[in-house]
Chains A and B, each alone.
Chain A
Amino acid sequence: MRLVVVSAGLSVPSSTRLLADRLAAVAAADRAAGEPAAEVRVIELRDLAVDIAHTFTTGFPAPPLADAFAAVAGADGVIAVTPVFSASYSGLFKSFFDALSVTDEDALTGTPVLIGATGGTARHSLVLDHALRPLFAHLKAVVVPTGVYAASEDWGAEGLDARIERAAGELAALAAGLSTARAPRPARDSFEEVTPFAERLAALRPGG
C-alpha cells in the first residue's frame, strides 16, 4: 500500500505535520496479517513552494514537483492536511492541487483521500466539509467519511485520538482494497490515448 501525505504546514515543526504524521502512522499500521508494510511518502509543500508558484508562470512543474505529482498520482491513498488560513485551506495547499490538476487532471481520480486541517481554535472545523471536501470531490477523489480537524486545544483533550483512529481506519480500508485490486496506476498518459484521426473527422460530418 502506497500512502502519500501532503502537508501544507509552514513552521518546523508544525501542528499540521504532526496531525499528518499521526494519521499516516495509524493508517500504515492498519493492515492485515501477512500484508507488506505500507510505503509512506511525505510531501512537505513548504519545500516545494517556489516550484509550485513557478508552475503558474512556466506551465510545467520543475523536476522535484513533477516527482511529487507522480507520487500522488501513483498513491493508493492520500492524506491531505492543511492549516486553516482566512477561513479556508491555505493558498499553498490549493495551489499544489491546482498545479497538479493542470499537469494531470486525473491524478486523484478514484483515489481515497483523508482530509485533515489544523487551526488555533475549533471555530473553523467546518472548513473540512465546506472547503476541503468540495475541492477533492471536484478532483474526483473518494473522500473518506471522517475528516480530522485539530484545534490547539485538541492536542490536550480527549477525542482527537479516536477521530484519528476512525479516519485512518477508513482510509486504510479503502486504500488496501485498491492496492490489491489494481496495478500501480501510472500518471495519465495522453500520448497513449490518441483518437485515430479518421474517427475524429467522421464525427464532424453532418449526420455522422
Chain B
Amino acid sequence: MQFGIFSVGDVTPDPTTGRTPTERERIKAMVAIALKAEEVGLDVFATGEHHNPPFVPSSPTTMLGYIAARTERLVLSTSTTLITTNDPVKIAEDFAMLQHLADGRVDLMMGRGNTGPVYPWFGKDIREGINLAVENYNLLHRLWREDVVNWEGTFRTPLQGFTSTPRPLDGVAPFVWHGSIRSPEIAEQAAFYGDGFFHNNIFWPADHTKRMVELYRARYAHYGHGTPEQAVVGLGGQVFMRRNSQDAVREFRPYFDVAPVYGHGPSLEDFTEQTPLTVGSPQQVIEKTLAFRDYAGDYQRQLFLMDHAGLPLKTVLEQLDLLGEEVVPVLREEFAKGRPATVPDAPTHASLLAGKAGKGAKAATAADEEGVRV
C-alpha cells in the first residue's frame, strides 16, 4: 500500500500571524514538502492544478520535473490534472516527458475542476464537464497506447496520422487515477478502463465515500478487470497531529476556523466527528485512518492533505516527521494484516512493465504453440 501527501497549492494567510507567503515562497515550500515526503519514507507526492489565485500550481509537470531531479524513490502524481480544460494531446506529451525524466516514477489523477470561470478561460463550457472528461480521456488513453492516432470527436480539432511524442517510457502508459467526490459517472469511467479511482474523502461523511467506492468496485468487476476487491482505490485524508492531542486541537483550531472550503462552518469537534479529518495524537490518526478500510475495503493508496489553511512550512515539515516516523510505519503494518493476497498493490511503472512483459511472453508462447511467427 502506498502512502503519500497531496497539496492543493493554496496561498493562504497564516491566521495566527496574518502573514501571506509570496508565490515564490509557496512554490518553494511545496518542493520542500515533497522532498521531505521522500526523506520520511512516504511513497507519493501529488500536486493540484489550478488556474486562478490564490493557488500557485498551474504547471504541474514543471514542478514535478524539478522534484523528480531531486528525489530518488518518490512517485510523482497530481491531484488533479484537469482533463476537461487541458488539451489531452498536451497532457499526453507533458506526462510522457515527465515519465522519461523521472524514470517512470509518475502517475496522474484526472479531475474535472469545479471553478466555473476556468472553463470559459480555456474555451470550454462547464455544463459539458462530464462529456469533456469522457472524450478527452478517451483520446489521451489512445495517444499513450497507439503510435499513430486518427481521431475525431466533439470538443477538439481532429487528428490525422498524429504521434504523441515522446512515446511513454518502455511503451507503458502512466497509471491513471480518476478523482471525483460526487459524480458516479467518474467512478464508472475509472471502472470502464480498469484505472484507479480516488475519492478525496476528506470533507465528506463516510457513507457517501462508501457508496462511491462500492459503485466503482462493482463496475470494475463488471468490465472484467478483476474482482471488486481487486479494484484500485485511493482515499484522501486530512490530519493535524501533536504528540498530545489537546496540543493538536489548540494549535490547529485557529487554522481550522477560517480555513478555505470549510472554515466559518461547523466546529472542529463536529467536523472531525462527521468527516475523516483527524486532529489529535498520532495514535488517533492511526485509528481513524485504519477505519477507512471498514467502508472502502482494502485499498491501495492513502494520500494526506498536510499543507493548507496557511499552516507555516516549519509546522508542515514537523507534521511530515510525525507522519513518516510514527504513523505510516504502523499503518503499513496494520493494513497488511488480514489483507488478502489477491488484493494488488497500487500499479507502478515497474509492475505495469512486468505485466506487459508477462502478457507479451504469454502471447509469444501461445503464438509458438500455434506455429505462428511473431
Contact = CB atoms under 8 A, between A and B. Distances in A.
A195 B266 CA distance: 35
Residue with the greatest number of chain B CB neighbours at <10 A, chosen from A58, A196, A205 = A58
Contacts of B185: 194-195, 200
A158 to B, nearest CB: 48
A60 interface: yes
Interface in B239-269: 262-266
A191 B187 CA distance: 10
Nearest to A196: B188
Contact of B204 (A60, A190, A195, A201): A60
Interface in A186-208: 190-191, 193-198, 200-201, 203-206
A194 B203 contact: no
A18 interface: no
Contacts of B360: none
Residue with the greatest number of chain A CB neighbours at <10 A, chosen from B152, B264, B265, B270 = B265
Interface in B195-235: 203-205, 208, 211-212, 214-215, 219
B20 interface: no
Contact of B152 (A54, A195, A206): A206
Nearest to A53: B265
- 3 cross-chain pairs, A with B, having the tightest CB-CB distances, nearest first: A57-B265, A197-B192, A204-B135
Interface in B147-175: 152-155
A204 B154 contact: yes
Contact of B219 (A62, A194, A205): A194
Interface of A: 53-54, 57-60, 62-63, 190-191, 193-198, 200-201, 203-206
Given A57-B264, A191-B184, A197-B188, A62 B274 contact: yes
A57 B153 contact: no
Contacts of B208: 60
Contacts of B192: 197-198
Contacts of B130: 200
B135 A58 contact: no
7 contacts: A57-B262, A58-B203, A193-B184, A197-B191, A200-B134, A204-B154, A205-B153
A160 B199 CA distance: 53
B202 to A, nearest CB: 11
Given A60-B204, A60-B205, 11 more contacts: A54-B270, A58-B203, A59-B203, A62-B270, A191-B215, A197-B189, A200-B188, A201-B134, A203-B131, A204-B131, A205-B153
Contacts of A63: 274
Contacts of B204: 59-60
A204 B131 CA distance: 7
Given A201-B134, A204-B134, A204-B135, A195 B265 contact: no
Nearest to A50: B266
Given A60-B205, A205-B153, A194 B184 contact: yes
A57 B188 contact: no
B93 to A, nearest CB: 22
Contacts of A54: 265-266, 270
B271 interface: yes
Nearest to A57: B265
B59 interface: no
A54 to B, nearest CB: 5
A60 B270 CA distance: 13
B215 A194 contact: yes
A193 B211 CA distance: 13
B138 interface: yes
A57 B264 CA distance: 7
Nearest to A197: B192
Contacts of B155: 204
Nearest to B187: A194
A63 B270 CA distance: 11
A58 B154 contact: no
A125 to B, nearest CB: 37
Nearest to B137: A201
Interface in B275-312: 275
Contacts of A203: 131
A191 B213 CA distance: 10
B215 A58 contact: no
Contacts of A196: 188
Contact of A57 (B135, B152, B266): B266
Contacts of A206: 152-154
B131 A58 contact: no
A58 B264 CA distance: 10
Nearest to B219: A194
Contacts of A204: 131, 134-135, 153-155
A197 B134 CA distance: 9
Interface in B111-149: 130-131, 134-135, 138
Nearest to B181: A59
Nearest to A203: B131
B184 A57 contact: no
A194 B155 CA distance: 23
Nearest to A59: B203
Contacts of A200: 130-131, 134, 185, 188
A197 B185 CA distance: 8
A194 to B, nearest CB: 5
